[in-house]
Chain A
Amino acid sequence: MRQRRGVRAIRIAKRVATHAILILTCIFALFPIYFMVVASLSTLPVAAITAHILVPRPSSLTLSSYHSILLDQNPSFLAELTNSLIFACSAAAIGLALAAFTGFALSKFNFPGRRTFVYFILLISLFPSFVMILPFYLMFAKLGLIDTYIGLIIPYSAGAVVFSGILVKNFMDSIPDDIEEAALVDGMTRTQAFFSVLIPLCLPVLGLAAFLAFVGPYTDYAFAHVFIDSNNLFTLALGLYQINSANGAGAQDYGLVCAFALVMSLPIVAFYMLFQRYIIGGLTLGAVRG
């Protein structure tokens, strides 16, 4: 009896420890967001915000920062949001379509040099994307693509193809060839089988790839900064930088910056919630197969 009680105590202690660790991790993850929310609702200098971060004085809270970013900016927040969505959605769509075909070819077709090609793509994906900025810039300058939508959509899509292609290939490798062959015997061409059997089975990994292909361009600063000059092509990432630097060194308006960042992140949250089912499936890729 006593022994059993001991076992129980250990089990409870384990639970408490597990929960303590999880709660601590959550605080680490959520505190910056909390800080941003509080700061975005305040117009005080950053020292004053920090001093009262845990118990903000209600009298100091205001929506004026939000008012300001949504209405008073030039270029307007809405215009920047539109541009960012155009870039990110185009890159996600184009990159994903190409990645699906790439993955299909690399996983289900036998052709000479296939392995070499896979290693080559893996090698490319090891380089940080900004090492490509200069070559892209020089090429696109010659082609007259600098400061255009196309000029930025191409490198964004290319980046998506590289990592998503491998992601899709690995996932397709886990789908037995039998299933595609059954479709061929049932009367399909390989292309038909790809669209009506393999693509539906790949939805989890395609969801994950779409999410990553969207978030990358949406939050990109480096490429946009180099490739874009005109105000009417400004993206949110450029707008955020502009606000941050506009106030002059040392006197940044943290309320404005945080409000901007929070509103900017809403589409990502929305995108994530939309594809959550698939993204989580993609992240646990290979763990459990139904």
Chain B
Amino acid sequence: MTGIRVEHLTKRFKEQVAVEDVSAEIRDGEFVVILGASGSGKTTILRMIAGLEVQTSGHVYIGDMLVDDYEPRDRNIAMVFQTYALYPHLSVRKNIGFGLKVRHVERAEIDRRVNAVAEQLGISETLDRRPAELSGGQRQRVALGRAIVRDPEAFLLDEPLSNLDAKIRSSARIELKRIHQQLGQTFVFVTHDQTEAMTLGDRLAVMNHGRLLQYDTPERILSHPLNRYVAAFVGSPEMVFLEGSVESTAGGGYSFLSGDVRIPVRGAGTAGPVTVGLRPWDIQVAKTAEPGSTPARVIGVERLGSSDQLFLETTPAAPGAGGLPPVPLSLRALVRSYDFEVGNSVFLGFDADRALFFASDGSRIESLSAPARLG
């Protein structure tokens, strides 16, 4: 049981930068998810921790040990590969016991531990089969068993659920979380699936283009994204962004304006172009007008099961500035009722407390947000 620390980790493949100056600490027993789109460098980080890839610069510590010069076999970590990478020519029993055999553990002890792990994962009856005869879910368990049986310092998991059917994926997720709680060991889990990330991770590391953008709890990342990329990447359905500007109002305060959407700004304002980000579930949809609400039309309804996602287009009453024709804005809202149909006229309300403001470079403008927020 050990934590992992990376310092200024950088990896270049020829001219291509895969990972750029990433520093982070994973605490002992923590379940950390590295989340990012493909090509974000998340798998490369995992491989550098495992020792399968040598970093261009920077350091990797496992526990208190600097392991930069250690071969993978000397790092005492276990890895679960996306493809599972089971040994096709060996039975499940031998696949799981492989690492123990290499380490010259006694036969009886190997048998005992393999049986115990197989029992724990519910694959006892498959022990004498070959990997080719197993279902995807069983193979994934064997891969996990191969890791668990060695009792390693830490577990590295590279998208281990992505090859599973959607149906068993969610149960595999719960199973994995349960195993983590049972073992109490350090898990580093790489995925591009934000649902997996949110449900599994004690902390998430969001990556893009080789950079670590934010490293925090799922709740904080959802409520306090550091920049527009993180805000857009995390949260489902995706955040709605409106381009506009902050302008001073007659009352002496400031408001965000985009078309005929007006959101009062609570914080200390400065005039200038900004982007506002709203979670679809923070946009209120009503059938009757209220003060300050924006008229819109429903142009599409997506039934998600527990709620409906409405695709909306504002219907500006007044012409645009300078006599230009009014520009309708497209946005989405999540509603719990099933009251809305395509073509309905509705009125939108925006919760200023929950709006996030981003500068043109994507960074979040904290000063514009209302101070009292969740988390």
Contacts and interface: CB of A to CB of B under 8 A. Distances in A.
A183 B98 contact: yes
Contact of A186 (B52, B73, B89, B132): B73
A184 B73 CA distance: 6
Interface in A170-205: 176, 178-179, 181-189, 192, 197, 200-201
Interface in B117-157: 132, 146, 150
B89 A188 contact: no
A93 B85 CA distance: 30
Contacts of B51: 184
B175 to A, nearest CB: 21
The listed residue with most A CB atoms (<10 A of its CB), out of B50, B78, B85, B146, is B85
Interface in B46-104: 50-52, 71-73, 77-79, 81-83, 85-89, 98-99, 102-103
A182 B81 contact: yes
A185 B52 contact: yes
Contacts of B52: 181, 184-185
Nearest to A188: B102
B67 to A, nearest CB: 13
A41 B80 CA distance: 65
Contacts of A189: 71, 73
Nearest to B143: A182
Contact of A185 (B72, B83, B86, B103): B72
B89 A201 contact: yes
Contacts of A178: 81-83, 85
A290 interface: yes
B81 A186 contact: no
A182 B98 CA distance: 10
A187 B99 contact: yes
Contacts of A182: 79, 81, 85-87, 146
Contacts of A179: 85-88
Interface string B152-174: 00000000000000000000000
Contacts, number: 59
A154 to B, nearest CB: 33
Contact of B102 (A176, A187, A200): A187
Contacts of B78: 185
Contacts of A187: 73, 99, 102-103
Contacts of B83: 176, 178
* Interface majority SS (helix, strand, loop, mixed), chain A: helix
Nearest to A201: B89
A183 B150 CA distance: 13
Nearest to B150: A186
A168 B81 CA distance: 25
Contacts of B77: 185
Given A182-B81, A185-B52, A197 B73 contact: no
A195 to B, nearest CB: 12
B72 A181 contact: yes
A183 B50 CA distance: 12
Given A185-B52, A185-B73, A192 B81 contact: no
A242 B72 CA distance: 61
B222 to A, nearest CB: 33
Given A176-B83, A178-B83, A186 B71 contact: no
Most buried by A among B73, B146, B150: B73
A192 to B, nearest CB: 7
B14 to A, nearest CB: 12
A33 B293 CA distance: 94
Contacts of B150: 186
Contact of A184 (B72, B88, B89, B103): B72
Contacts of B85: 176, 178-179, 181-182
B127 to A, nearest CB: 18
Contacts of A200: 89
Q: Counting chain B CB atoms within 10 Å of each CB, which of A176, A184, A201 scores highest? A: A184
Contacts of B88: 179, 201, 290
B50 A186 contact: no
A169 B276 CA distance: 55
Interface string A75-88: 00000000000000
Nearest to B81: A178
Of A181, A187, A200, most B-chain CB atoms within 10 Å: A187
Contacts of A185: 50, 52, 72-73, 77-79, 99
24 contacts: A176-B83, A179-B85, A179-B86, A179-B87, A179-B88, A181-B50, A182-B85, A182-B87, A183-B98, A184-B52, A184-B73, A185-B73, A185-B77, A185-B78, A185-B79, A185-B99, A186-B98, A186-B102, A186-B146, A187-B73, A187-B99, A187-B102, A187-B103, A188-B73
Interface of A: 176, 178-179, 181-189, 192, 197, 200-201, 290
A-B pairs, top 4 by smallest CB distance, nearest first, are A178-B85, A186-B99, A187-B102, A182-B85
Given A179-B86, A181-B85, 14 more contacts: A181-B52, A181-B81, A182-B81, A182-B146, A183-B87, A184-B51, A184-B73, A185-B99, A186-B73, A187-B73, A187-B102, A189-B71, A197-B87, A201-B89
